[in-house]
Homo-oligomer: A and B are copies of this chain.
Amino acid sequence: MYVYSSKVVWAGGRRGKLTCGNGFRALFSPPPEFQGEAGTLTAEDAFVASVNMSFTLTFLKLAEQEKLDLRAFECNCNGIMDRVMPRMAFKRIVLHPRVMVASDADVPAVERCMDLADKYAVVRNSVKPKVVLEYKIELDKKRAAAAKAEMAE
Contacts and interface: CB of A to CB of B under 8 A. Distances in A.
Tell me if A's interface is mostly helix, strand, loop or mixed.
Answer: mixed
Interface in A44-97: 44-54, 56-57, 60-61, 64, 70, 72-82, 84, 87-90
A128 interface: yes
Given A39-B24, A47-B4, A18 B82 contact: no
Contacts of A72: 10
Contacts of A90: 122-123, 126
Interface of A: 1-10, 14, 16, 18, 20-24, 26, 28-33, 36, 38-54, 56-57, 60-61, 64, 70, 72-82, 84, 87-90, 119-123, 125-129
